[in-house]
Every structure is written in C-alpha cells, then in structure tokens.
Amino acid sequence: MALSIEDIKKVAHLARIEVSESDAAATLTKLTGILGLIEQMQAVDTTGIEPMSHSQDLSQRLRDDIVTKTNLRDEFQKNAPALGNGSTEPAVAGGLYLVPKVIE
C-alpha cells in the first residue's frame, strides 16, 4: 500500500496538523519507511486469532454513582491558553473557554 502525498494531506487534515508542501514530501519519505517496517505483518497468517486489546483478560470495574468532584474551574482555567490574534488575555470569559466561532 504505497503512500502518496495526497494520503499525507488527508491524514494530516484528519489529525488537524498543518503540513506545508515541503513538509509533506519529507514526511512522505519517513512514513513510507515506517510503513515498510509495518508491512512485515502482512506475511503472517492470523486467521482465527482473537485480537488482543489488553494484556490481562479482565472485565471493567464499576464505580458507585456518587458525586466526588467539586468545582475547580478557576484552578483549571489558570492553564487556559492566550486568546491569540493580538490578545494575550486568557481564552476564557464568564467561565467559558473561548474559541473561534463554531459554525453549524
């Protein structure tokens, strides 16, 4: 499965990482090398083998439905990034996190 520049751009878009034309070419070379490594898997016959997600065959533990969290909004929002586009103010207002307008 040879990788193309278009694949790189598509994947970069899905991952929300800006990639310039020159970056895309360099990335293509490196990712092609890594995929070459990965391709070794295709030689293995895995028919009927149960995929392994966890190393231990355990089941999910359940938590009691009791409120244990308190309001730490102000503490958490001290880490808010700077708004950007000329403003160094934190990207919060009235307790809300601020982002560029969301269009539906």
Partner 1 sequence: MEWEVVIGLETHTQLRTNTKIFSGASIKYGAEPNTQACEVSIALPGVLPVLNKEAVQCAIKFGLAINAHIAPRSVFARKNYFYPDLPKGYQISQFELPVVGKGAVTIQVPAVGKNSAYEKVVNITRAHLEEDAGKSVHGAVEGMSGIDLNRAGTPLLEIVTEPDMRSAAEAVAYAKKLHELVQWIGICDGNMQEGSFRCDVNVSVRPKGTEKLGTRREIKNLNSFKFMTQAIEYETRWQIETLEDGGTIQQATVLFNPDTGETRSMRSKEEANDYRYFPDPDLLPLVISEADKDAVRATMPELPEAMKARFEAEYALSSYDSNALTTSRDLANYFVATVDAGADAKQSANWVMGILAAKLNAADTSIIDSPINAQQLAQLLRRIGDNTISNNAAKQVFEALWNAEGSVDDIIAAKGLKQESDSGAIEAIIDEVLAANAAMVDEFKAGKEKAFNALVGQAMKASKGKANPAQVNDILKKKLS
Partner 2 sequence: MMNSSPINLSLSQLGEMLQAKKISSVELTQTFLDRIQQYNPSINAYIALDEGKTLAQAKAADARIAAGNTAPLTGIPIAQKDIFCAKGWQTTCGSKMLANFIAPYDAHIITQFDAAGAVNLGKTNMDEFAMGSSNETSYFGGVKNPWSFDRVPGGSSGGSAAAVAARLCAAATGTDTGGSIRQPASLCGFTGLKPTYGAVSRFGMIAFASSLDQAGPMAKSAEDCALMMNVMAGFDERDSTSLNREKEDYTRDLNLPLQGLKVGLPKEYFAEGLDASVGKVIEAAIAEYKKLGAEIVDISLPNTGLSIPVYYVLAPAEASSNLSRYDGVRYGHRAAEYTDLMDMYNKSRAEGFGAEVKRRILIGTYVLSAGYYDAYYLKAQQIRRLIAQDFVEAFKKCDVIMGPAAPSTAFKAGEKVDDPVAMYLQDIYTISTNLAGLPGMSIPAGFAQSDDGVSLPVGLQIIGNYFDEARMLNVAHQYQQVTDWHERMPELVLPKEVK
Applying CB under 8 A, the residues found at the interface with partner 1 are 14, 16, 53-54, 58-69, 71-73, 76-77, 93-104
DSSP strand pairing (87-90 vs 82-84): antiparallel
Report the C-alpha gap between 5 and 28 in whole angstroms: 6
Residue in 21, 51, 67, 94 binding partner 2, rule: CB under 8 A? 51
Contacting residue, 66, 67, 99, 104, with partner 2 by CB under 8 A: 99
CA atoms of 68 and 90, how far apart (whole Å) = 28
Q: Are the C-beta atoms of 3 and 9 separated by less than 8 Å?
A: no
For residue 3, the minimal CB distance to partner 2 (Å) is 8
DSSP 23: H
Q: Which of 49, 67, 71, 95 binds partner 2 (CB under 8 A)?
A: 49
Question: Residue 52's binding partner, choosing from partner 2, partner 1, none, with beta-carbon cut-off 5 to 8 A by kind?
Answer: partner 2
How many Å apart are CA 44 and CA 56, to the nearest integer?
23
| Binding at 2: pick from partner 2, partner 1, none (beta carbon under 5-8 Å per type) | none
21 binds partner 2 (CB under 8 A): no
